[in-house]
A and B are shown apart, each in its own frame.
Chain A
Amino acid sequence: MTDTDAAEVAGTVADLRATGIDAGYGSPVLHGVDLTALDGKVTALVGPNGSGKSTLLKVCANLLDPEAGSVVVCGEDIDGLSTRQVATRLALLPQGPTTPPYLTVRDLVEQGRFAHVGPLGMLRRGDHEAVTRAIQLVGLEHMVNRDVDSLSGGERQRAWLALSLAQETPVLALDEPTTFLDIGHQWEVLELVRSLNADRGLTVLMVLHDLNHAASFSDHLIVLEHGRAIAAGEPWDTLTDELLRDVFGIEASIIADPRTKRPLIVPHAAAKRRSGSTES
């Protein structure tokens, strides 16, 4: 059953389309948001704190039922898919996941096969191969038997990323994969994500806090503010002086990175708040 599932997935366009999403936890957070993560592209979701980025990602990964709107993954509405079927199409790495003590990298990554294994959780040959591949992709093969909570922050994040990769889904969703990491490890993780996209054609949708990360590592940007998607497009088209001032509250220069020619934001002051937008 899972094999035919995988074949179905392989034959379709690996994209993610959310339309008219209203969602929230009791009180509404998202208001009619549209989102498209194109096949084989890296799409970054940015916005100030509380703008609904994580909520939108949860809706896309079927962790939260929207009040209105629909999410289509690889051509299929997730409403019509089981939790397992969603997990074979889209893998989600939540923000700052906590690892139980005494759990090895291998134990953790094997959990990524949950949707593929039978009801008794026995891993088959193909599952072991997927786990091995995922661990090798993140470069932790020499640490498979180490406990995840004994690893450095960057290694730990790579271990969690391997769990998502072991799901072998065409779409990968990451919620702030660089949280709690120092700058070197931030880049290490983001470069890894970029290479997974470039080498393996993974469609990536990630929430990023740092606008320069978003500008450097994504093909597409979607900007959320107060639960509404207010801009979307390529980084050069999306990031404007007005947007930085009005949405992110900074006065900044946008220059071209001398090496990559991608936009680089150099903030120089906090913007004076617009009247009426007193929410944090």
Chain B
Amino acid sequence: MSALASLPPDPRVRTSIRTIAVVVAVTLFMMAMSLWWGTGSVRLGPVTAWNALFDSENAERLEVVAAEARVVRILMSVLVGAALASAGALLQTLYRNPLASPEITGVTQGSVVAVVVWLVYGPRESADPDWLFPVIGCIGGIAAGLLTYAVSRLGGRVDPLRLILVGVLLGGLLGSLLGLALIASDGLGLDLISWTVGTVQSATWGRVGLLAAALAVCLPLVVIAIPYGNALALGEDVAQGTGLTVNRARGVVLFAAAAVTAAAVSLVGGIGFVGLVAPHLVRRRTGSDLRRLLPTAAVVGALLVLVADFASRNIRPRDLATPFGAAEMVGAFALPTGVYLALIGAPFFIHLLRRQP
């Protein structure tokens, strides 16, 4: 056989690596900014922050508390963003639909509803342990995900279109349940609403550790799901013709995405948007192949949530309302992360759509 002339290298491999490198660098910069910068509360310079974290004898008590709280939020933001963006990339490929996002598995709503219902109707203990809400949220999310899967499987095979329909229906059903619980919750309103749009405010070391551990467990599953997703993206017949057991592979990809989503949303509430947007932001550079798309989307997702959290800590509704002379009409509270995620992400996304042919 004649020697094979080698084919020209794929430029997208380099583009993807470069994109990841740049985004990681920007993320690290943002992490530092996010640690140092905090209007209204404690200001930490690089030196103060270092002392507060690693040399607490040379720091004020308040500075130590503030620095730790920020580090925890930063880590939580990054983990949640990466997790949801990965889930989004897997689901858009699985459903062969650019509108797919973690929410359509029903997992997000299931998790949020479980936590809210527990808060409103559950026993009122004086101090809930750190792990209680995440565990309840996870159970709710996984239960909703399994229900979606089971209902769409009633016909014998897993049909992507039916999965979407059932997921959306279940999401709506759970949404109305959520409304009911919110109405019934006198006094808890603001916290609960923050939870439904997602917030990293409730992050603690214990919860960050919990999420990190959960994602570490999910990682092998995601890695296995990548080639399955790539094959499924070509359609059922082609996937099976190239040697994929389609129904099992769909289950694996769906489960990987659902598990990662459940882990993230059970710790921060119903953060959406990042799972939809992050893969779109990078797809043109990395291509549709998940081997490049998923890791690149993950770092972009991490950065998105980090920026949203940074904004939510530093731009409060009062700051936004002041130019309009409406400062008195809003409180001094901070908006939850999820609100800023959409506020920042949506215009950016529209800008991107305009540029695309």
Contacts and interface: CB of A to CB of B under 8 A. Distances in A.
Contacts of B291: 121
Interface string A126-170: 000100110110000100110100000000000000011001000
A88 B242 CA distance: 8
Contacts of B126: none
Interface string A95-137: 0011111111011100110110101110000000100110110
Contacts of A88: 243
Interface stretch (A55-63, A224-232, A242-250, A266-274): A55-63
Interface string A72-93: 0000000000111011100111
A47 B207 CA distance: 64
A216 B288 CA distance: 39
A94 interface: yes
Contact of B235 (A86, A97, A106, A120): A97
A134 B231 CA distance: 18
A11 to B, nearest CB: 19
Nearest to A145: B10
Contacts of A91: 241-242
B241 A63 contact: yes
Contact of A114 (B10, B244, B283): B244
B237 interface: yes
Nearest to B233: A100
Given A63-B237, A98-B235, A107-B288, A145 B8 contact: yes
A144 B227 contact: no
A164 B234 CA distance: 13
Contacts of A97: 234-235, 237-238
B7 interface: yes
B245 interface: yes
B92 to A, nearest CB: 10
Contacts of B283: 101-102
B160 to A, nearest CB: 13
B33 to A, nearest CB: 32
B4 interface: yes
A63 B243 contact: no
B96 interface: yes
Given A101-B288, A104-B287, A120 B227 contact: yes
B43 interface: no
A75 B96 CA distance: 36
A144 B224 contact: no
Given A86-B243, A119-B227, 9 more contacts: A63-B240, A87-B241, A94-B241, A97-B237, A106-B7, A106-B10, A111-B238, A114-B227, A133-B4
8 contacts: A91-B241, A100-B288, A104-B289, A111-B242, A112-B242, A114-B227, A132-B7, A167-B242
Interface of B: 4-8, 10-12, 93, 96, 223-224, 226-227, 230-231, 233-235, 237-245, 283-284, 286-289, 291
